[in-house]
Amino acid sequence: MISAVVDAQAIGTASASGLRVVGHHDLAGRGDGMQVLREGDALYVGHNGTTGAGTSILDVSDPRRPALVAQWDAPANTHTHKVQVADGLLLVNHERFPYRPAKPLGPHSAGLAVYALEDPFAPRFLGFWDSGGKGIHRIVWEGGDYAHMSGTPKGFRDRIWMTVDMRLPTAPNLACSWWWPGQWEAGGEDAEWPEDFRVAAHHALSEGDYAYLGYDDANLVVLDISDITKPRDVGRLQWKGGATHTCMPLPGRDLLVVTDEQQHDGPHAVERAIHLIDIADPTNPVYLRKLPAPEESYDRLPQRFGPHCFHENRPGSYRSNRIVFATYFNAGVRVYDLADPDEPREIAHWVSDVPPGSPAPQANDLFVDADGLIWVTDRGTGGVFALQPDDDLATLMEESAL
């Protein structure tokens, strides 16, 4: 059921329809929030890295008054901006940061950190997998034997897709990897693509035997993962648009929704969009159409305007194959109804006020919990917000839940 949160005054809203703020936390003045995930009463937040913060944990048993319980720094020259929780474990990435430093950096940490969550508010370090190179970027971990992730190990030109064996959490190890031919520079492979064309894995979401992998300017790669230790490239699709980030199958519908991440500041940066793909035959994906974009006024604002990511229908969270939640940077949170794939509709949105210390809001990541609350981070200085759907949206969410 979608729970009601009442008696909370809306804060920090510039524009909204169907959603309202019920809680907010500035993360102790280190508001560069990135990935966010709720598990029980604990909210885990990875940080972008600009403040030096690594991971924050909040008690959200009362979503109107989130309380910061723990916060620790990232290692030097490193950010730890991703968090994943399952099977009593917290997984955190370690990646070199900044990505494109103006001057040479000192040593950085590169790999995957594993923590035990006997106490969800006090993670206990268990083990670390050293990936080498620039480190790990994005993790997908829903429990079980394997975690999937992207990263740039030593010897590779850019990020590849990797699977890590988690059966011994104190000593995780690489089970297999897949990369676009030409990425393995140390192996003598030639990069047969233009210099301004980026070939880099982001992350894959799966349905059945197939994983749908965003691959930056190469867009979509479909992998057969029926044997997880031997992934096979079985399908590809390219379209006009780059920086493909999230490729999310809608369970049971033969549809894939895809974000191309906006990576450039505006005003008037290159257009990025959300796409809808037919995957009735996963080996032959077919492009259908773009989802509607927010009004053009956001394109005139500073910093990023465009999509970033979705709420990813994780087990234990709110799940739907019809209602899709996305972040759109300075255009905030956008909610779509895909009941009719021929006419996708935006049905709700929320945009924060400009956070103190930022030129524009930058809604970065979001997570919709089992109670129907939407947790949103701002990658600049805004921290983390809790949003509640209005009655109409809450009803539709309940009717459309899996």
Q: What is the DSSP string of 339-402?
A: SSTTS-EEEEEEEEPPPTT-SS--EEEEEE-TTS-EEEEETTTTEEEEEEE-HHHHHHHHHHB-
- What's the mean pLDDT in 22-28? 96
- What's the mean pLDDT in 291-300? 94
> Could you give the 3-state DSSP secondary structure of residue 296?
helix
- What's the mean pLDDT in 236-249? 96
**Model confidence at 6: pLDDT above 50:** no
> Could you give the 3-state DSSP secondary structure of residue 164?
strand
Tokens for 185?
Answer: 């520079």
- What's the mean pLDDT in 369-394? 97
- What's the mean pLDDT in 256-268? 97
Name the helix (H) or strand (E) containing 55. strand 53-59
Give 307's pLDDT tier (boundaries 50, 70, 90): very high
**Model confidence at 3: pLDDT above 70:** no
Q: What is the pLDDT of residue 4?
A: 36
pLDDT in tens, 75-132: 999 999 999 999 999 999 999 999 988 888 899 999 999 999 999 999 999 999 999 9
| Identity of the residue numbered 9 | Q
CB atoms within 10 A of CB 62: 12
**Model confidence at 289: pLDDT above 50:** yes
> Could you give the 3-state DSSP secondary structure of residue 233?
strand
pLDDT in tens, 317-375: 999 999 999 999 999 999 999 999 999 999 999 999 999 999 999 999 999 999 999 99
- What's the mean pLDDT in 267-289? 97
